[in-house]
Structure 1
Amino acid sequence: MTDLATRAAPARPTSLRRAAPALLGYAAVRGLGLLVLAGWSAARGTSAHTLLTARWDALWYARVAGLGYGYEVRLPDGDVHSDLAFFPLLPWLERLLHALTPLSYADAGFTVALLSSLAAAWGIFAVSDHLYGRRVGLCAVLLWAVLPVGIVQSMAYSESLFTALAAWSLYCVLIGRWPAAGLLALAAGLTRPVGLAVVAAVWAAAIASFVRTGGAAAPGGVRAGPPAPSRAPARDPRGASVARRSLGMALAPLGAAGYVLWVGWHTGTGLFGYLDVQAGWRNGFDGGYAFARFVADKFTSFPSALAGVGLVVGVALVVRLYVAGVRQGQPLALLVYTGVVTALALCASSYFGSKPRLLLPAFPLLLPLAAALARLRPPRSALVVGVVAVASAVYGAFWLNGSGPP
């Protein structure tokens, strides 16, 4: 038996040629979503371009890119919405692309999202292929593409950028490239608050590696649960030393910690100033109490009770997929990452409609489904993906032309 976290594929999972079918499939699914959105929006007299680039959070990112931090909105109820809630990497990239091209800040954000979504799909394929083979990798990418809120992957939002950085950081952990994993975790920490999940994954895998080997050179992953059938034994090609692992651990938290400390210094509110900023948006972490009350309130009348049932089923499915990942033998890094992303998404105290979007980066939840889909015959699996892709495209168009991401 070999460790799932360290098995090598017959061909490098990172090679573009090996990943090409997954990337082409991903582009086709997302292209379908954009076409349906364009048609739906035209029929309603709305602008698909505006929905993708200049609504909701995209407006805040573009404003930071163009004017820097310092803008806030004071609401009648006393809440203060500050742009300091938005981490800086996406605005930095928007500003850079705007400076280098004729693109507006909004269009630059859209471009970054499109390129990042392809990088994320490639990273998801690399992780899945490394662990379970090329076919599972292809299925994992397609499942990520057809998620009901997958249209967000093509918006001027930070989800795609964060998922790309997280996926490649996890891949570097799995193959023992600790400094690269730490640098990518640093960048993820500059992208979204949930960058904490990537930092936790790097640290957990590194500490487990230290404990397992007593500090000797060792690969980066620790398998959890029973192993899947191995394809080829392998050792860490880099022979990660104590210094490399320590460097990866040291780099990983610098992005998130640096921004949070800067916010505290900038606002004069001290170490926990960023929490005050989030409180102004009525957002925080309460262990899921507010979300539980929100779900319970749905059962006070018959029509809304159906939504309550849907929410309960959705949360149960997420938990079930996480447990399936443990049984599947996912490495410790993936389990820690997914657990933190899921906990932060489900236990946030506000913006309940955002929870599906906040779960987008938790791609390891899809690996058990990808393995099941990969076992089907190709025509049947293609039919399943095709039907779900159409449904996802229609839902995405309906969603953005309705309530949309809060």
Structure 2
Amino acid sequence: MHDNLTSARPSVPPPHGHAVRLRAAAAFKAAAPALGAYAVVRVTGLVVFWVAASLAGKDALKLLGGRWDSVWYQRIAEHGYRYTATLPDGSVHSDLAFFPLLPALERAIAEVTPLTVRGAGITVAWAAGLLAAWGIFAVGARLHGRRTGVVLAALWGAYPTAFVQSMAYTETLFTALAAWALYAVLRDRWIVAGGLCVLAGLTRPSAAALVAALAVTALAVLVREYRAGDRKGLVRRHARMLAGVCLAPLGWLAYVVFVAVREDSPFAYFEVQAAWGNSIDGGRALAAFIVGLPLPAALGLCVALGLLGWLVALCVRQRQPLPVLVYAIAVVVISLIGSGYFGSRPRLMMPAFPLLLPPAVALLRLRTTARTATAVGVLALASAAYGAWTLLGSGPP
């Protein structure tokens, strides 16, 4: 009788915190192959670079965490916004061109751990790389299945300038925030997406692409329902979506306002960027750069740009969801229409991971998993070699 009474009792749901932990554990278990594949690709890149640096007699950690933009972020972390550099041509470069989230994380980690600011920056980059790979997997798995998500994460780790993912730069942190924001939109969790956009807006100016993705998607939803005649209570029905869209640009706007107040000029942020040569010129600087190249190099670059356009067209033909598609295209456009240093443009496009969805799907059409893994391995080795060559060079990525 006691056993019967016990078995008849209604089941008690687990506490909320326990349920959250169970869901998180299940999500991590599902993503583990993608994280493992990404880690193998990036470790391959680091090993190749470490060997090359040792042969060249250079300090690999210093190259990863103490060169180019990473030095500016570390200086902000240590001393705040106060540094400017005057170039021989008289132009002034201010540290206000760099957004605050990465240096804030570097400072916080350095204060509570034995790590230096440089070590903290590298730690943030490596942790953000795993979070980005997880988010990229989540988007790919939702759109085309788990195997596609795994290959997509691995391909992002084998991107030509993926060595930046191991450096104290902001692209990896931004990609992590962007990937999870897009996943949140795909799950109709607009407040979460808006909050992640706020953090992305405190990380890089390219957060404008993410804000555009949310805004265009929300507008399409409203227009579709309005045209369908479902107009009553339209705004109230989508209150969370609209709140997320309104929330999205606040991080970027907050920093622009901060610079304006700091410099006592409403357009100070744009003036700072222009001094760095980062103004928007509609692509004139890119065209001038191509025209100034020797003919073989110019033709090669035109072919590369053609391949980029083909990838974008494949994304459209693949019918990627509107927020994913708008985000990828916006990142590409922002990267191409600026007047900045040409060599940085591939790095600036690295967060546009949806461009890798068509290749990921194509790789899975190979007959066996071994062939897919071999193809990814070849790309990883090529990326590693290019990364080592670039990091051991003199110019910034």
TM-score of the two chains, using structure 1 as the length reference: 0.88
Shift of 1:211: 2.0
| RMSD between aligned residues | 1.9
Q: Does 1:255 align with 2:248?
A: no
In structure 2, C-alpha distance between the alignment counterparts of 1:12 and 1:133, rounded to whole Å? 19
Greater CA drift, 204-213 or 63-72:
204-213
Q: State the partner residue of 1:269.
A: 265
Q: Which one has a bigger Cα radius of gyration?
A: 2
Q: State the partner residue of 1:242.
A: 238
**Match among 185, 196, 216 for residue 184 of structure 1:** 196
In structure 1, C-alpha distance between the alignment counterparts of 2:340 and 2:216, rounded to whole Å? 29
In structure 1, C-alpha distance between the alignment counterparts of 2:57 and 2:174, rounded to whole Å? 32
* Aligned positions of 1:251-400 closer than 5 A: 251-270=247-266, 272-299=267-294, 305-376=295-366, 377-400=368-391
Shift of 1:403: 3.4
Shift of 1:212: 2.2
Q: State the partner residue of 1:233.
A: none
Distance 1:40 1:148, change over 3 A: same
Q: Does 1:148 align with 2:160?
A: yes
In structure 1, C-alpha distance between the alignment counterparts of 2:237 and 2:81, rounded to whole Å? 40
Q: Is the 8 A contact 1:209 1:215 kept in 2?
A: no
Shift of 1:405: 2.5
Q: State the partner residue of 2:30.
A: 18
Shift of 1:213: 2.8
In structure 2, C-alpha distance between the alignment counterparts of 1:64 and 1:360, rounded to whole Å? 24
Instruction: State the Cα deviation string for residues 259-318 of structure 1 (Å, max 9, x = none).
Output: 011101110111x2111001111111111111111011113xxxxx33222211111111
**Match among 206, 215, 218 for residue 206 of structure 1:** 218
- Residue 292 of structure 2 aligns to a residue whose secondary structure is helix
* Aligned positions of 1:68-217 closer than 5 A: 68-214=80-226
In structure 2, C-alpha distance between the alignment counterparts of 1:30 and 1:14, rounded to whole Å? 24
Q: Is the 8 A contact 1:159 1:361 kept in 2?
A: yes
In structure 2, C-alpha distance between the alignment counterparts of 1:172 and 1:209, rounded to whole Å? 16
Distance 1:14 1:313, change over 3 A: farther
Distance 1:154 1:241, change over 3 A: farther
Q: What amino acid sits opposite 1:261 in the alignment?
A: V
Greater CA drift, 307-316 or 349-358:
307-316
Instruction: State the Cα deviation string for residues 343-396 of structure 1 (Å, max 9, x = none).
Output: 111111121000110010000111011110111121111111111111111111
Q: State the partner residue of 1:224.
A: none
Shift of 1:214: 4.0
Q: What amino acid sits opposite 2:170 in the alignment?
A: S
Q: Which has the higher contact order (CA 8 A, sep 6+)?
A: 1
In structure 2, C-alpha distance between the alignment counterparts of 1:109 and 1:95, rounded to whole Å? 9
Q: Is the 8 A contact 1:13 1:130 kept in 2?
A: no
TM-score of the two chains, using structure 2 as the length reference: 0.90
Distance 1:215 1:166, change over 3 A: farther
- Residue 298 of structure 1 aligns to a residue whose secondary structure is coil
Shift of 1:205: 1.2
In structure 1, C-alpha distance between the alignment counterparts of 2:149 and 2:207, rounded to whole Å? 24
Distance 1:265 1:332, change over 3 A: same
Instruction: Find runs of 4+ consecutive structure 1 residues off by over 6 angstroms.
Output: 11-14
In structure 1, C-alpha distance between the alignment counterparts of 2:255 and 2:210, rounded to whole Å? 16
- Segments of 5+ residues of structure 2 without an aligned counterpart are 1-22, 231-235
Shift of 1:57: 0.3
Instruction: State the Cα deviation string for residues 120-166 of structure 1 (Å, max 9, x = none).
Output: 00111001110111111111111111111111001000000000000
Shift of 1:248: 0.3
In structure 1, C-alpha distance between the alignment counterparts of 2:239 and 2:188, rounded to whole Å? 12
Q: Is the 8 A contact 1:12 1:18 kept in 2?
A: no
In structure 2, C-alpha distance between the alignment counterparts of 1:399 and 1:36, rounded to whole Å? 12
In structure 1, C-alpha distance between the alignment counterparts of 2:169 and 2:26, rounded to whole Å? 25
